[in-house]
Structure 1
């Protein structure tokens, strides 16, 4: 089943949900700010996206700027930072089987559904 890691306060994330609704395909909404991802779950998402952990970080978030910016972090430390501070995770992320995309722009979601 298709999954979307969703933050309802994000307009791009809401657009992603709307696109999935219009597709008519069944999907699950994962509210990752409420139901935090584990380290292993987030690592798997990053592997599906085929990116480095740092590429999933929202670097303009205040917590990143105050706590992590300009620090030399390992991949695992970056993942740990996102697990402990899920608002750092770029959104929306759509997962379909063994494929995943960051839905920015929203049209990228169409590539995997």
Structure 2
């Protein structure tokens, strides 16, 4: 299967790309934000990333907070954790 791998560190998604991903995401939009040490360091709460606009703003300001990998196939996007989800999406 052909695919395009995008290294978000070198090529972070812009606002339009994030909104496109969020529009296709099978998971809740809030799942695109990692709840890790950076989330705590930035003193974020779930209320700070509860809308699409807040999620986009947060990721644009802090690319490392985006959950990954994100896999987009056609009109469907998933967060590839656990990795078995990727196989399921790709039909194998």
Q: Please, which runs of 5 or more residues in structure 1 have no aligned partner?
A: 1-24
Point out 4+ residue stretches in structure 1 off by more than 4 angstroms.
none
Number of equivalent positions: 88
**65, 81, 94: which one aligns with 2:40:** 65
Instruction: Give the C-alpha shift of residue 33 in structure 1.
Output: 1.4
Instruction: Give the C-alpha shift of residue 90 in structure 1.
Output: 0.7
**TM-score of the pair, normalised by structure 1:** 0.68
Higher RCO, Cα 8 Å, sep 6+: 1
**1:100/1:70 Cα in 2 relative to 1: closer, same or farther (>3 Å)?**
closer
**TM-score of the pair, normalised by structure 2:** 0.81
RMSD: 1.8
Structure (1 or 2) with the greater strand fraction: 1
The alignment status of 1:78 with 2:55, answered yes or no, reads: yes
**Structure showing greater Rg:** 1
Q: Please, which runs of 5 or more residues in structure 2 have no aligned partner?
A: none
Match of 1:55 in 2: 31
